[in-house]
Chain A
Amino acid sequence: MPKIVIDDKELDFNQGQTIIQIAEENGIDIPHFCWHECLSVSGNCRMCLVEVEKIPKLVIACSTIAADGMVVHTQSEKTVKARSAVMEFLLINHPLDCPICDEAGECKLQQYAYSHSVGESRFTEEKNHKKKRVPLGPYVMFDAERCISCSRCIRFCDEIAGEKQLTFVQRGDKVTIVTAPGKQLDNPYSLNVTDICPVGALTNRDFRFKSRVWDMSSTKSICSGCSRGCNIEVWVRNNEILRLTPRHNAEVNSYWMCDNGRLNTFKHVNAENRVDGPYLKREGNLIKTGWDEAIAFAVSELKSFGKDEIAFIGSAFATCEDNYIFAKFAKSAWSAKNIDFLRHVKPGESDKLLVMEDKSPNALGAQLAGIQPGKGGLNFEGIIHAIKEGKIKALYLLEDDLAAIKPEYESALKKLELLIVHSSNFNKTTDIADLILPASTYAEKHGTFVNFDGRVQRIRSAVTTEDFDRSLDGFEQSRLDKFGSPFDKWSSPKKMDARSSWRIIAAMYSALGHKIKHTMSQEVFDEISETIPEFQGLNYSVIGDTGAKIKLKSAETKSIKV
């Protein structure tokens, strides 16, 4: 294997790798703006200059192919001087508006200004002024003054999103980025440019000025927008989700996520129509009630039906833990056979990059956790049919808004004598329900999702509910969370009175006299890994941040892919 020496360390590499790639792999930091692991090399920022012995001038590490026996210095006097010169050059026209810039705190230019710059400028002329508020598209705002012309966004659109929507125009210090006249930056992945932009030139219009990054906590989680299961971070301040950003996972989503997932999968958590406690229907009106009362109602009502008159419908939006306890409850407490769930597949609504046809995050997980018809039991369509015929009179529905999907389902649900629903928000189905139990959203609980590929990934609670103290179970905390007191307005935000579905069902279980030993979702998952062969050997720490793949039988994979 060829060898290269970087900063006195002898390293092996594969033929064809560039210096910066080798350095990156071996944990040596070479500052860079325009280079990105997943994008082509452009080499225009000049920040990654390094000294290579026997080459008279400094070379850029991002485009220099390593050769056997090369000796590279990244910290020599010459390179340090060159970097500070590049920084001084980039800062000539970069405005000093960090205080009002959303990127501040996670800005590459800002970080490098501290670590690689002398902190002074010899440039006494006035800075170049450009347009500061250019809406490039429906979601992205462009500040031309802040742009350092690294071209990452242009290359992203060309190479990853596959739509050539951005380009440089003009030259010298007038250079700027535009879309074609009459066109917009509107590809389904447009917001990724705000993540890769090393400065605050491209910002998320949805998140703009909402919070400083240091005031938020970030929690590692999984996007619930489709069965891809993109890894994300949930950014929370004052118990309110303000934005989602993609988290690197080479096996799933690389560095990216789609705009739909980023913008539309968290708003229901903060929404006004959250179910704020258990509701009972009495004489046609929904009345808020207590947990104990609601659970007692559910148990006593369910008891009045025969086992073939009850159906249990799980959910592809709930976690494996929720579905597992739900299936166990249905099978062992009610000897039910009519168990299934609905797959939210929208044929044709997928693309080559990330978006999948299955619009729910955990269809495979629900199936594996045991949400399948028992021997001689009815499947989903069968259950709907039986309801219409009046054979099934009671339905226990987990976290799924069936009524909104088809009018057919809605009219079927209306025929039921008893409908118990777990739901996080009020919707068409809850309007019909006899008992609504408030379920936590994916951002309020711990659990696992299994993506289309059979990868088990963890979601973590980022927002606190009344039932769940956010200081427990390794909650990510912002500075304000850590030091606030109950007398501070900001640290006593509105908390939802919602619980993880498995906890609600466990309470019913114990109301029936069974003993449920689980207190944390972790323990439920441990039971899953003991009882379900596909999950064997897994636990929360094995899954970790990037997930673990389970062994799938090919039949199951096919049934999921439809």
Chain B
Amino acid sequence: MGILELAIITIVKILIVLTLVLLTVAYLVYFERKISAWIQNRIGPNRVGYLGLLQPFADVLKLLLKEDIVPTVSNHPLHALAPMIALFVAFSTYAVIPMGPTITLFGWQIPLAVADINMGILYVLAITSLGVYAITFAGWSSGSKYSLLGGIRSSAQMISYEISMGFSVGGVVLLASSLRPIAIVEAQSGLMWNAFIQPIGFITFLVAAFAETNRLPFDLPEAEPELVGGYHTEYSSMKFAAFFLAEYANMIISSALIVTLYLGGWQIPFIERLNLPVGLTVALQVGAFCFKLAVLLFFFIWVRWSIPRFRYDQLMSLGWKVMFPLSLLNIIWVAILIMVFKI
């Protein structure tokens, strides 16, 4: 496979993934509103298009047409840069998530991930860490006390939870002996899903994922009752939309990561025993990945509309006094598994 073909394939994959993610984000917003409505015995958006299905496009149109208000006291370049960083981080992380096994098409070996790199997990951790800059910049450059408080909260929170996240991933990496996402998925064949093998790690990662995406119950950076809108108080129009988009894209990334790291990725346990044609197997596996993703996304939304926000001290003590020791405990547990049970 020459460099040109690789480029073409990669570009095609990028376009497909980008489109998919954007569409998913749009409909994720729609479902967020629908599910919250159902939980509250309401109907939710139902006016734009059949069952309100065109609502996301109406929302986007509205956001695009709004006036872009930039506070005079803000640091203009940074103020404009922050949403770009947020979007960049959200989309570039997606590069290493495998959505299916490697397939053979027109004689080419094509992995169903944009980039199959051997230090993919490290890449994910590195890129998501950049996300904190987006929020901190946004908070600082707005020149508003609410934004600043939101930004500070956000950086403290993300740093605290990144530690337990990193240690949780450590367990996964130890078991798979690889940083390559595809290898990690393949290591979870059968029912050897990491969620079952290292449940503590799964829970700490899940909680850290909520904290990293700033979703309720960890949405202190934008806590409306205290901070108006937190770090994005002073944003409007498409810049606000960028943050909005990034938040939902981050949700998808986090869900996809959890699926990859803990829920066996695209794998369906024991599907190889059915002896299905290869094409169908791949299709089913991609479907399985999407299904797992959808379940996790629903879980994200469900949690948001059930659990109230933490107090700031509770958030910090949970991060440092509970999640951090638990993730360490998980590493020890995995070490014991490897040393004693030789898996």
Indicate whether A and B are direct neighbours in the complex (CB within 8 Å).
Answer: no
Residues of A at the B interface (CB closer than 8 Å) are none
